Amino acid sequence: MRVAASLAFALAAIFANAAQAQNPIPVKIGVLTDMSSLYADDTGPGSVAAAKLAIQDFNPAAHGMKVDLVVADHQNKPDVGASIARQWFDVDHVDMIVDVPNSAVALAVSDVTRQKNKVFLVSGAAISDLTGPKCSPNTIHWTYDTWMLANGTGKSVVKTGGKTWFFITADYAFGHALQRDTSAVVEANGGKVLGSVNVPLNNQDFSSFLLQAQQSKAQIIGLANAGGDTINSIKQGAEFGITAGGQHFAGLLVFLPDVEALGLKAAQGLVLTETFYWDMNDATRAWTKRWQVSRPGKFPSMNQAGVYSATLHYLKAVAALKSAADGKAVVAEMKKLPTNDPLFGKGMIRADGRKIHPAYLFQVKSPAESKYPGDDYILKATIPADEAFRPMSQDNCPLVNAAK
């Protein structure tokens, strides 16, 4: 009887495994990004390449899973991003959306994701409200945020003598949040904000805004913008003689591809905060070499590294649950599992949806200091994981308040 029972159990296991092999767990991931505008170099095709590497490294077949990938361009328009998200969730059976540069688009997509009970992993957007009053049980904010940038770059600049500030601010949710968070840091550390000017997104001519910054006589011109807007601000600022006149730029969100686009001659001396740099260690260099197969001559941004890290962890959680159907359950599982990957190392995800890992204060090298392509940064300080992001006690996240 025992032999027969054992045989029956073994046969059942074989049939179950065979059935799983024939009917793998379906997972569909959507990379919603900027493929053609001012954030394309920092996200876009490089984020798609990163997501593909994460799927490859996870090896879905070994976990009884089949993973498909779709891509769309949100055009930096919240209504377009939300419409794509609804189409993906309702019609195309997408389970998770990742990346989404542009904070206004990210806020809209987060709302749709919660309504549809799917998963949203934010790597490209910065607004810290995603783990504050706008937090969601279906959203995780992965790579960086405006609070981190303000308390990294902003605090460093004030402490080294940059006491008076004028902001050139991208006129949408991200820019306003970055100015808000940085202003709080400046004033808390004894500095003063002399003024600001709002600039339309994807602006080409910064002359009138730079003139206002010059006339303010502020020591620091805080660039509360990103991507192509930051590049244009700094390039045109050089033509205006901003630094020659004794004022200095603080690039509050500068990515490595932006530095590459500016060139070290124009970008040298900039202080910035990032959570990933391709040349940090052997693991990041090895991953970058693989990423460059589809992006020759390019170097990955922290956004693109975040897409890889977030996607990999998501797939681990789906494998543990053996289903991607319940987005809230998948996010809860992601929070339960410690994070660990070659790009960000060990970390965790808090109850408010904030992914926690160290941040790094860098300074851009001069051309003479750079020894090889992509050798752009000097590490000035490491901000420990438990200090890099806003404490949960200060973020006003309803998820945290409800749990108390």
CA–CA distance, 370 with 372 (Å, rounded to integer): 6
Q: Categorise residue 270: left if φ over 0, alpha if ψ from -120 to 50, beta otherwise.
A: beta
Amino acid at residue number 385: A
Q: Residue 20 pLDDT > 70, yes or no?
A: no
| Residues 50/307, Cβ–Cβ less than 8 Å | yes
Dump pLDDT digits (tens) for 68-108: 999 999 999 999 999 999 999 999 999 999 999 999 999 99
Residue 396 phi/psi, 5° resolution?
55, 35
> How far apart are alpha carbons 146 and 20 in whole angstroms?
44
Is 7 a residue whose pLDDT tops 70? Answer: no
> What one-letter code names the amino acid at 286?
A
pTM for the whole thing?
0.92
Q: What share of the chain is helix, strand, coil (3-state, %, to 5)?
A: 45, 20, 35
The CB density around residue 131, as the number of other CB atoms within 10 Å, is 29
Per the prediction, the chain carries an average pLDDT of: 93
222-278 tens-digit pLDDT: 999 999 999 999 999 988 888 778 899 999 999 999 999 999 999 999 989 999 999
DSSP-derived 3-state class of residue 108 = helix
Give the CB-side neighbour count of residue 293, counting CA atoms within 13 A: 10
Q: What are phi and psi of 280, to 5 degrees?
A: -70, -40
Inter-residue contact 49 to 294 (CB < 8 Å): yes
Residue of 329 and 15 predicted with greater confidence? 329
The C-alpha atoms of residue 387 and residue 356 are separated, in whole angstroms, by: 9
Asked if 33 contacts 47 with a C-beta cutoff of 8 angstroms, the reply is yes
Q: In what order do the strands lie in the sheet with 271-274?
A: 271-274, 359-364, 377-383
DSSP letter string, 227-289: HHHHHHHHHHHHHTTTGGGT-EEEESS--HHHHHHH-HHHHTT-EEEES--TTSSHHHHHHHH
- State the Cα–Cα distance between residues 89 and 92, nearest whole angstrom: 6
Give the closest residue to 74 by CA, choosing from 53, 103, 95.
103
pLDDT band at 50 (very low <50, low <70, confident <90, very high): very high
Which domains are delineated in the chain? 18-144+280-354 (3.40.50.2300), 148-274+359-388 (3.40.50.2300)
What is the per-residue DSSP string for 164-194?
A: EEEEEEESSHHHHHHHHHHHHHHHHTT-EEE
Answer whether residue 330 shows pLDDT above 90. Answer: yes
Q: Is the pLDDT of residue 175 over 90?
A: yes
DSSP state of 91: T
Task: Find the radius of gyration of the CA atoms of the chain.
Answer: 22
φ, ψ dihedrals at 9, nearest 5°: -65, -45
How far is Cα 228 from Cα 235, in angstroms, rounded to an integer? 10
Q: At what angle do helices 302-321 and 44-58 cross, to 10 degrees?
A: 30
Alpha carbons 356 and 360: distance in angstroms, whole number? 13
Q: In whole angstroms, what is the distance from residue 330 CA to residue 311 CA?
A: 12
Which pLDDT value is given to residue 19?
Answer: 46
Spatial distance between the Cα atoms of 119 and 324, rounded to a whole number of angstroms? 9
* Average pLDDT of the segment spanning 339-359: 97
Give the model confidence (pLDDT) of 268-326 as tens digits. 999 899 999 999 999 999 999 999 999 999 999 999 999 999 999 999 999 999 999 99
Which SS3 state, helix, strand or coil, does residue 29 take?
Answer: strand
